[in-house]
């Protein structure tokens, strides 16, 4: 494993940086204040190859690996974590589930539209009463001839309103049975499929989060991903890669907050000199820089294992847990370094602070990551 960035990583990172500066930065606070989800930017991201990063070229994707994926999500998240989150969710959850477990007909049908940004993807596992306890889900799919009829709802779904297609995991067997859930693809416009409440959130406000509702929603059996009963097992594998996504998002937030703080500390004059010259501030910056570096190494080690097709559940959980907790600490210290100005919307660290907290919750809380890590080290 090399610690040098490859030429491809450097190029895609630069492309993502330019994309974020041109299409995202001018609108950050307006989107945040109005909770506007910019679908037009997601479509534009498709033109840059950011909507099918891991999808092979044969299906219209960029055919890149997880190191490049991290670089793209990181650079976009340094500018606006909300858009970084949406790019990550589209790629690692919906699109990757179809890529990983769909048959060739399903891949040919859905992946090109997802990869080129024509369609925005959603992924539904969580329900109102089943967050970490996914096995207790209530949404069901009942076989009826060659079709399945879905009833129930999913919540906290990224792109729940604006998504053109959703991969959902629902119960086809008994509650609590890990072999009692199955994954299906549902397209927008399908009778009985609608969106519900949109969440009013603390942070990540430009990334849409809403309910998916199924009321006697009939879909053909050809929309089933994999075998009946494999949905939960598939989801756990998808979340392994998804944790790298949240780690990359966390890394971008931490770097954005750190770089803003470093700049501010050199410009802010107190007692006749820049505050960076005071040990209290310089030590904060030193801690921030060190933890960011450690997050990055851990994250790319998980990416290395993922690219190799090797077991990486422990490393993905470690990297997600560590990077997400680091980004919260770094964002907190960034506000402190900015003092009163850090508490205003005139400086970017206020938003990084609000956005950061989601990273310790989404795609498995810090506590769930510890469960995963403990199981791996004790088995």
- 356 phi and psi, to 5 degrees? -65, -35
Maximum Cα–Cα distance across the chain = 79
Enumerate residues 6+ apart whose C-beta is below 8 A from 319.
243, 244, 247, 295, 298, 299, 301, 302
Catalytic residues: 363
- Rounded to 10 degrees, the C-alpha dihedral 171/174/176/181 comes to -30
Alpha helices in the chain, H assignment, sequence order: 7-23, 28-34, 39-47, 66-79, 81-89, 96-101, 104-115, 231-267, 279-307, 313-338, 349-356, 366-378
| Nearest in space to 299 (alpha carbons), one of 155, 88, 33 | 88
DSSP 130-152: BSS-GGG---EEEEETTEEEEEE
Query: What's the Cα-to-Cα distance from 239 to each of 123, 255, 316, 367, rounded to whole Å?
Result: 11, 24, 9, 15
Q: 127: which strand partners?
A: 130
d(CA 295, CA 344): 28
| Structure tokens, 357 | 């907290």
């Amino acid at each position: 494993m090399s610690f040098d960035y490859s030429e491809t990583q450097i190029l895609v990172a630069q492309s993502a940086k330019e994309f974020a500066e041109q299409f995202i930065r001018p609108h950050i606070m307006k989107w945040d204040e109005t909770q506007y989800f910019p679908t037009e930017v997601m479509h534009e991201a498709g033109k840059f190859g950011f909507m099918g990063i891991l999808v092979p070229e044969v299906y219209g994707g960029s055919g890149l690996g997880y190191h490049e994926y991290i670089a793209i999500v990181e650079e976009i998240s340094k500018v606006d974590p909300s858009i970084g989150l949406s790019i990550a969710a589209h790629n690692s959850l919906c699109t990757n589930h179809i890529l990983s477990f769909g048959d060739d007909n399903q891949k040919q049908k859905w992946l090109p539209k997802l990869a080129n940004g024509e369609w925005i993807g959603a992924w539904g596992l969580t329900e109102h009463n089943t967050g970490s306890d996914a096995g207790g889900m209530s949404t069901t799919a009942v076989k009826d001839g060659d079709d399945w009829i879905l009833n129930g709802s999913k919540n906290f779904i990224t792109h729940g309103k604006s998504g053109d297609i959703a991969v959902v995991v629902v119960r086809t067997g008994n509650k609590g049975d890990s072999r009692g859930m199955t994954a299906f693809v549902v397209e927008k416009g399908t009778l009985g499929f609608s969106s519900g409440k949109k969440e009013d959130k603390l942070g990540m406000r430009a990334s849409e989060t809403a309910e998916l509702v199924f009321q006697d929603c009939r879909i053909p059996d050809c929309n089933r991903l994999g075998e009946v009963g494999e949905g939960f097992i598939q989801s756990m594998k998808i979340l392994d890669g998804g944790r790298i996504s949240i780690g990359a998002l966390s890394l971008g937030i931490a770097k954005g907050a750190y770089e803003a703080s470093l700049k501010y500390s050199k410009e802010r004059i107190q007692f006749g000199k820049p505050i960076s010259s005071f040990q209290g501030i310089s030590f904060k910056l030193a801690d921030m820089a060190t933890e960011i570096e450690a997050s990055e190494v851990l994250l790319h080690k998980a990416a290395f294992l993922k690219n190799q097709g090797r077991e990486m559940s422990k490393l993905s959980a470690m990297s997600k847990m560590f990077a997400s907790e680091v980004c919260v600490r770094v964002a907190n210290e960034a506000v402190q370094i900015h003092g009163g100005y850090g508490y205003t919307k005139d400086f970017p660290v206020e938003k990084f602070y609000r956005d950061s907290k989601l990273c310790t919750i989404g795609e498995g809380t810090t506590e769930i990551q510890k469960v995963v890590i403990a199981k791996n080290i004790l088995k």
